Structures are given as C-alpha cells and as structure tokens.
C-alpha cells in the first residue's frame, strides 16, 4: 500500500514526481503530497492534499518555473491516522530539517513516539511514519546516510522509505524492509520508487534493493550499504516492459483494458511451458520431477482474488493429480497450528508478491520444512525471495485495483501445475493429459473470440439494468463455487453493493431467507455434471420471486427457460470453465459500477498491494 517516489538529478523534477505518483496511484489514493528541495531554500515547495492525485495537482497549482532537481512524493493508503492533510506525506521532523515518505508500517511506533515525546519532541500527525524523520533528525550530525543507518535498527515492522535533509539537497537516502523499492538509473539522475512504472518513461535500467540495505542516491551515483559496510556496485537490469501497459490504450479504464488483455495473459502464461506432446515444463519450482511426484499434500495460502484462484486450483489438482489440496486464506493460516512439513508443497498465490499475510503464511510453512512455491506476477517481489521456487503468471502489469487478468492467469498457472502433477503421478494417461493440454491451449483463443464478439457489450447493458438493486446473491456448485465467490467480490469492491456468495446446495440452510420478490440472484450454471442440480436450485429461488441472471455455456439453450438474463461464457470442459465463466462476471460487475457512476480503477478504501496485516 502507498506509493513513494524520489528523484535526484540534473532536471527540474516537479513534473517527474507528479507523473510518477500518477503511475503509482493504484497503490493508494486517499491523500498525497510532495516536497522539492534546493540549495537556496532547503524546502523549495511542499504540498499535501486529501483525495487523489487530481486534488494534489489542484492544490499545487501550475508549475511556476520550479527549478528544484531533488524531490520526493507519496500517494497514501491510510494505515495509522485518518485521511487528513496533516497525516499525508511527506512527514517532517519538528525542526523541519528531515523529510520522509514511507510505505508500510512501523510496528513499534507507539513506544518510539512516547520516548520522543518524553524527550520533548512535538508531533504534527497521527501517523506511524512521523517517528522516522523525528528519529533521523535527532541522530543527524552532518551525514543523512549515517543518521538513517543509525535509526534503522530501532525500527520494527516492514516498510520502505525515502529521506531527505535540507542541508543535503542533492541527496536522497532510501531503505526497504519487506516492502517494495527499486532504483531507476538514468544519465546523471537517479529515481527511487515503490514500482518501476513510476519512472519507466525516463529509464529502463533498474537496480533491486535487498532488505535492510541503505541506498544513498546522488545524480551521478548510488551506493548501497549494509550497516556500516559499503557493498560492491550492483549492475542495473534492463526492463523490457511495454510502456503502453501503464497507459489505458484507448479503453475508458484500466480494468476494462485488463479484462480485454486476458487472452494475451493466458497465452503468455502457457508460453513455452507446454510441449507438443502435452507435457509441461515448470523449471522454476525448485523441485525435480521425482520429488514433485512424491508430494503428499498441497497447501494453498492466498488472499482475496488469489484465494479464489487457489480454490479453483484445488478442483483441478485433486481431479487430475489425486493429491489432497487444502486452501486457506493466508490471514487465518498464519495464526493456526501449521501442520505442513517436509513432503508437503505450499503454494503462496499473490499477484503482487507483496501481500503481508500471504508472505507470513509462506514463512510459517517454510519454517516447518515444507517446500514453498510463490505463484506471482511480479519478478523480484518479496514472495520470490521468501520461497524455494516460483511459478510466474505472465499477465503483465495490472493497474486496476480489482484483479482480473492476474486471476485468470493464476488459474492457468495452476492448471499447468495440475497437468504436470497428473502426468508425473500417472493419475492421467499420456493421451488424457494431451487432450487436457489441447483444451488449455484453446482457451486464450476462445476468450479472444468472446471478447471481440457483441457478448461483452450485452453483459454491460444487462448489468446496467440492475444498477439500483441493493443486494445480490451469487450461487454455484463445484467449480462454479469459486467463480461465484470471485464474481461477488468483483461486484462488491467496485460497485459497493452488498453480495453473498454461496455453494448453491447451502442456500436452503440460511441464505434463501434473504430472497424476496425481484431479488437478483446470479447463478453460475455452466455445463457439467452438476448442471441439473444447479437448475433445481434456480427453480427454488425463482419460486421465491427471485430474478435469475445465469452464467451459462454458449450453446446451452435450455438455460434461457430458467433465467431472466443469460450471460454466455465460451464452451470449455467443465473443470476449465472457471477461466472463461469468470469473465462475464467481471464485465457484469464493471457494467453495474459504471452505471452507478463509480471510479472502477480506484474503488474506495482499497489498494492494489496490501502490505499490512
Ligand atoms: C480483488 C483483489 C484482492 C487481491 C488480494 C491479494 O480484486 O485484487 O482481493 O486479490 O488483495 O492480493 P495479491 O494477489 O497481490 O496477494
């Protein structure tokens, strides 16, 4: 959560900071701020505002010929302290000499703040961050980097911050501990930011920073320190990302663009991993085939949409490979008695690779001796560092806060793993595995055809008709259950309409009481062995006056007799249907939120990466 950026170089940087922040806005957008430094004035400009980056620009006004070539900025997702201008970053020490922008949490800030207050330091905000500039200012004796190094061991928690001192206007000092921070190396300039898109237009040369390293940035140089030891120079890696990925490319929102990018995300996730004979190569897992074949149990830990992908994965792995799979939300798993151990495979699914609860759950399992694999979309993310192996989704950058293409790419990655396991364990015959591999390979194209057809526009139109409904029930069976969980989550997060999602068979044990004349019920009723059972559940809700919106397999004309609206999904084998049937539900949520005039890319209270517990 929160996006931070810093710049030091030869160019006036006001616009570079503001544009960079706009690229980081997906990480948090309840308030923002920036500060610029120069030799003459120390702090040449400092602006903070409540609201998104548009509000900051409005508060800052026109450029006015700013010449500062060093600055730092922040876009916030509040953790400690309400959303106010005083709590927005940058935060300063009481004497105004030190400025800090931070992402993450200082867990022992209460004690630190008390100690500082006892020593007479006056605080200006309610945030945990403010202890950092206050501590640095007290340590400062003419060398900002030395002061930061002295303060670092006192800080508990996980964070990334950038600090500046008014007496050193050509220098920034940055630190990370389990929160993302990368350096961009340009010609006589250095960027530091929470994520690469913040400076991708300016430079593609990136240096990664490890936990607890202190980086000193100047226009022509950057040095990396571990405690008092200066580390050898680290080579920059060149990033080949498509710059358009950070732009909307003609779509009205990032979310809609990313929904349409799903075929490409799926193609890329399959990529070179599938051989013509249907066998699958996943070299990053960190396990040889013989060991993988002997895996006794699989635990999946994840949050939100990634958890839903894990639920789909369970059906696939258990059916194709006959390995028992336990799926749990990471925030619960991390605090239960962990029974994973040697012989178990733990999959930590996290598109960002930074979700605090998922990282903690992976760590718990790893300490117990399980083999931990991160299923993630972000190279070099913390999850890749905290695991024994990695299975990358290759969805490209996802900016919309509501996950879409990373979810379907996760399900595809898990399908590849299930297929590989099924073959290794001889739970699938080579011919059976080849058939499934071919079905998997067809999915991106099926989805591409679907997205280019009139169907998506029809879903958006159908959704708009429900814009005033106060509540939706989602039902499904078998693989339709995680699909309806995901569809319901998409709707609540971008339209703010309460939803319940239930296995259809559970409905009569309670949720049916919610239904009334005209209540909208979304039913995942794709073809498969539970189709007739789902139709029976549809009859039950219709008998109570509910209005049914069914997600059904293209060509199944029967469903039209049972539903007021049908959202079609491309035809696939039943077990693979979650990859395609979730797409109409993404569009349904999108259409409804749009009809309600909401900002789908920046839903309230949410952030793209959840680096707090
Ligand atoms: C919902 C959504 C969240 C994330 C969750 C986990 O659209 O995006 O529920 O899925 O915060 O995030 P990652 O996958 O980054 O661990």
What is the per-residue pLDDT across 168-220, written as a single tens digit (0 to 9) for each? 999 999 999 978 899 999 999 999 999 888 999 999 999 989 889 999 999 99
Is 608 assigned a catalytic role?
Answer: yes
Is 420 assigned a catalytic role?
Answer: no
Q: Decide whether any atom of ligand 1 lies within 6 Å of the 350 Cβ.
A: yes
Name the residue with tokens 């309600």.
596
Cα(496)–Cα(610) distance, rounded to whole angstroms? 19
The answer to whether the peptide bond before residue 424 is cis (omega within 30 degrees of 0) is no
Q: Return the residue whose CA atom lies nearest to atom 6 of ligand 1.
A: 303
* 539: three-class secondary structure by DSSP: helix
Q: What is the pLDDT of residue 243?
A: 66
Which residue among 352, 403, 602 has the greatest number of ligand 1 atoms within 8 angstroms of its CB, and so is best to mutate?
403
Q: What's the 199 CA to ligand 1 centre distance in angstroms?
A: 24
Nearest atom, ligand 1, residue 302 CA: 16
Tell me the average pLDDT across 536-540. Answer: 95
Residue 120 banded pLDDT, cuts 50, 70, 90: very high
Q: What is the pLDDT of residue 308?
A: 98
Q: In terms of C-beta density within 10 A (0-12 exposed, 13-18 middle, 19 or more buried), how is residue 555 classed?
A: exposed
- The single-letter DSSP state of residue 239 is P
What is the per-residue pLDDT across 306-336, written as a single tens digit (0 to 9) for each? 999 999 999 999 999 999 999 999 999 988 8
Q: Of all helices (H) and strands (E), which one includes residue 71? A: strand 70-76
Q: Decide whether any atom of ligand 1 lies within 6 Å of the 79 Cβ.
A: no
Which of the following is catalytic: 257, 420, 490, 608? 608
Model confidence pTM above 0.95: no
Can you say how many angstroms the Cα of residue 486 is from the centroid of all Cα atoms in its chain?
Answer: 15
- Tell me the average pLDDT of the chain: 94
Q: Decide whether any atom of ligand 1 lies within 6 Å of the 93 Cβ.
A: no
Nearest atom, ligand 1, residue 608 CA: 8
Residue 498 banded pLDDT, cuts 50, 70, 90: very high
Q: For the chain, what percent of residues have pLDDT higher than 70?
A: 98
Q: Decide whether any atom of ligand 1 lies within 6 Å of the 610 Cβ.
A: yes
Cα(307)–Cα(314) distance, rounded to whole angstroms? 11
Q: Decide whether any atom of ligand 1 lies within 6 Å of the 303 Cβ.
A: yes
Q: What is the pLDDT of residue 246?
A: 62
- What are the b/e assignments for 475-498, b being 16+ CB within 10 Å? bbbbbbbbbbbbbbbbbbbbbebe
Other Cβ atoms less than 10 A from the Cβ of 131: the count is 26
Q: In terms of C-beta density within 10 A (0-12 exposed, 13-18 middle, 19 or more buried), how is residue 384 classed?
A: middle
Which residue among 77, 179, 180, 306 has the greatest number of ligand 1 atoms within 8 angstroms of its CB, and so is best to mutate?
306
Which residue among 28, 311, 328, 355 has the greatest number of ligand 1 atoms within 8 angstroms of its CB, and so is best to mutate?
355
């Amino acid at each position: 959560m929160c996006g931070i950026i810093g710049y030091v170089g030869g160019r006036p940087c006001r616009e570079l900071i503001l544009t960079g922040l706009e690229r980081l806005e997906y990480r948090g957008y309840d308030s923002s701020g920036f500060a610029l430094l120069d030799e003459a004035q120390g702090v040449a400009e400092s602006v903070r505002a409540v609201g998104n980056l548009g509000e900051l620009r409005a508060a800052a006004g026109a450029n006015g010929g700013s010449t500062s070539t060093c600055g730092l900025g922040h876009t916030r997702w509040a953790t400690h302290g309400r959303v106010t201008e005083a709590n927005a970053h940058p935060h300063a020490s009481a004497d105004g000499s030190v400025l800090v922008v931070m992402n993450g949490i200082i867990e022992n800030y209460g004690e630190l703040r008390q100690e500082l207050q006892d020593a007479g330091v006056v605080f200006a905000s309610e945030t945990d961050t403010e202890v950092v500039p206050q501590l640095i200012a007290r340590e400062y004796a003419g060398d900002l980097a030395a002061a930061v190094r002295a303060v670092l061991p006192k800080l508990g928690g996980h964070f990334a911050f950038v600090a500046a001192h008014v007496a050193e206007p050509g220098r920034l000092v940055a630190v990370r501990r389990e929160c993302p921070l990368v350096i961009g190396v340009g010609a006589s300039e250095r960027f530091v930011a929470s994520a690469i898109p913040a400076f991708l237009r300016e430079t593609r040369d990136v240096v990664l920073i490890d936990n607890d390293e202190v980086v000193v940035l100047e226009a022509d140089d950057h040095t990396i320190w571990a405690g008092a030891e200066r580390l050898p120079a680290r080579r920059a890696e060149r990033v080949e990302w498509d710059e358009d990925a950070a732009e909307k490319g003609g779509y009205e929102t990032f979310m809609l663009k990313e929904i349409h990018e799903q075929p490409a995300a799926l193609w890329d996730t399959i990529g070179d991993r599938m051989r013509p004979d249907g066998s699958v190569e996943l070299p990053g897992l960190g396990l040889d085939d013989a060991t993988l074949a002997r895996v006794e149990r699989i635990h999946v830990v994840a949050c939100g949409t990634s958890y839903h992908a894990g639920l789909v994965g369970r059906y696939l792995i258990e059916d194709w490979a006959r390995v028992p799979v336990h799926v749990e939300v990471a925030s619960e798993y991390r605090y239960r008695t962990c029974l994973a151990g040697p012989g178990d495979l733990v999959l930590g699914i996290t598109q960002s690779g930074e979700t605090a609860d998922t990282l903690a759950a992976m760590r718990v399992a790893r300490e117990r001796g399980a083999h931990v694999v991160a299923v993630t979309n972000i190279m070099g993310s913390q999850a890749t560092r905290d695991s024994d192996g990695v299975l990358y989704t290759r969805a490209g950058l996802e900016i919309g806060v509501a996950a879409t293409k990373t979810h379907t790419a996760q399900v595809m990655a898990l399908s590849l793993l299930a297929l590989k396991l099924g073959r290794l364990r001889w739970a699938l015959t080579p011919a059976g595995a080849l058939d499934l591999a071919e079905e998997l390979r067809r999915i991106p194209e099926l989805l591409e055809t679907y997205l280019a057809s009139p169907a998506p526009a029809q879903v958006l139109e159908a959704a708009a008709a429900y814009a005033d409904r106060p509540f939706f029930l989602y039902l499904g069976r078998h693989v339709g259950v995680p699909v309806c969980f995901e569809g319901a989550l998409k709707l609540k997060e971008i339209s703010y309409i309460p939803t319940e999602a239930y296995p259809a068979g559970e409905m009569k044990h309670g949720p049916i009481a919610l239904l009334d004349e005209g209540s909208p019920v979304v039913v995942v009723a794709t073809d498969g062995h539970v189709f007739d059972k789902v139709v029976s559940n549809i009859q039950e809700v219709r008998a109570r006056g509910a209005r049914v919106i069914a997600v059904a397999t293209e060509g199944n004309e029967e469903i039209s007799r049972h539903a007021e609206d049908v959202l079609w999904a491309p035809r696939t084998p039943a077990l693979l249907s979650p990859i395609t049937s979730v797409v109409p539900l993404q569009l349904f949520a999108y259409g409804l939120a749009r009809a309600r005039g909401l900002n789908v890319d920046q839903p309230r209270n949410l952030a793209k990466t959840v680096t707090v517990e």
